[in-house]
Amino acid sequence: MNTADRMRRREPAQSNGTFFANHPLRWGFIVSLGVMLAALLGVAVVNLQSVILSVFIAAFVALGLDPLIRWFERRGLKRASAIVVVMLLFIGVVVAIVWIVLPPVIEQATSLISNIPKMVANAEASGWYDNVNDATNGLLAGVVDAVQGILTDPNFWATVGGGALAFGASVISAISTGFFVFVLSIYFIATLDATKRACYTLIRASERARVSDLAERIMLSVGKYLSGMVVLAFMNAVYSTILLVVVGVPYALVIGVVAFFVTLIPLIGTVLTTILMTIISLLVSPTAGIIVLIFMLVYMQVEAYILTPKVMGKAVQVPGTIVLISALAGGTLLGLLGALVAIPISAGILLIIREVTIPKQAKL
């Protein structure tokens, strides 16, 4: 090859390398166009955040119910029959919550909010309150005032009712959003396998087996974690409600519902519900508060060493520090929902790092 041929072969590379330098106006136009498109995309995401969040929640509901479908499959049902059974159970639970549980919970919540100041005043008028408050250098009064402020704050009940879903923002928005999530969850449950197969076809054939294996493991871990957390939260709520009824604390049902949602927060959820239940019980009587505290401390030990290992198994293997950081970050971004899903997302990221990134770095 002569010198002229080599120069002709180099010309395209040289022209590509100096294109933007020779045409600054075009470069500025392309950059400005990219910034505008990015801004439009950001505006679209912000305007559609409620829809995106609803889709996100519905997908996690489907993943959370998938272990139950697999459980029915292991009991001899075919995949289609197991899906139908789980869908009917899901619909039944939602209908029961809306028609049976929700009305008395709303009634008790309204009564609790209106009666909290009276309960605090009655406790302050009793002799034990001043003695305990003096012994703790005013700590009891500060805690009671803080709890009173939280329970009488409408934003707190909005967060418990749905958090980032904005269930408490307005009744119409809550119903429409909840119905959309409900219908979309059913659709995702019915088409989960088909949707996964369709997504896997978009991956290069040489990488498809590895990517699908990682994706299945991550989704299985997410499903087991979500379903396990819901089971543990339900057990906590039932136990808390029964305990409060036995010791004679009013509004046990609404406190149990609050305990269900707060217990979904990893690590600290049960601690927060124990503090809340103890303070409300103290406003009824010191004996009730002490009994509730003792029995909740016992339950915390049973939950930590017996229930959680059996229910959760090896669903999520995440170090404690990452659990705390993930829960804090997720809770800051999306409230209770973010705290719930942050742990399985962190587990998926750790799995990718362990299975993909570290082996690749080891080969360099």
pLDDT of residue 167: 39
CA–CA dist 187, 58 (Å, integer):
9
Q: What percent helix, strand, coil does the chain show, rounded to 5? A: 90, 0, 10
Alpha carbon distances (Å) from 162 to 13, 95, 181, 252? 57, 17, 12, 20
273 in Cβ contact with 239 (< 8 Å): no
**Residue 47: Cβ within 10 Å count:** 10
The full set of domain ranges for the chain reads 28-363
Alpha carbon distances (Å) from 284 to 12, 275, 277, 328? 84, 15, 11, 33
The DSSP line for 28-93 is: HHHHHHHHHHHHHHHHHHHHTHHHHHHHHHHHHHHHHHHHHHHHHHHTT--HHHHHHHHHHHHHHH
Both tokens of 63, joined, read: 């993943």
pTM: 0.69
CA count, 13 A, side-chain hemisphere, 184:
17
pLDDT of residue 110: 77
CA–CA dist 157, 333 (Å, integer):
18
3-state secondary structure of 251: coil
pLDDT of residue 164: 42
pLDDT of residue 258: 85
Alpha carbon distances (Å) from 363 to 26, 54, 350, 353? 42, 41, 19, 14
338 in Cβ contact with 332 (< 8 Å): yes
Look at the chain and count its residues.
364
Alpha helices by DSSP H, listed for 75-153, are: 79-96, 102-125, 127-135, 139-151
CA–CA dist 313, 225 (Å, integer):
9
Single-letter code of the amino acid located at 195: T
pLDDT of residue 165: 43
Question: Smallest Cα–Cα separation from 105: which of 230, 238, 255?
Answer: 255
Residue 329 burial class via C-beta count within 10 angstroms: exposed 0-12, middle 13-18, buried 19 and up: middle
CA–CA dist 280, 244 (Å, integer):
10
The DSSP line for 346-361 is: HHHHHHHIIIIIHHHH
pLDDT of residue 71: 86
Spans of the chain below 70 pLDDT = 1-23, 124, 127, 129-130, 132-133, 138, 140, 147-177, 312-320, 334-337
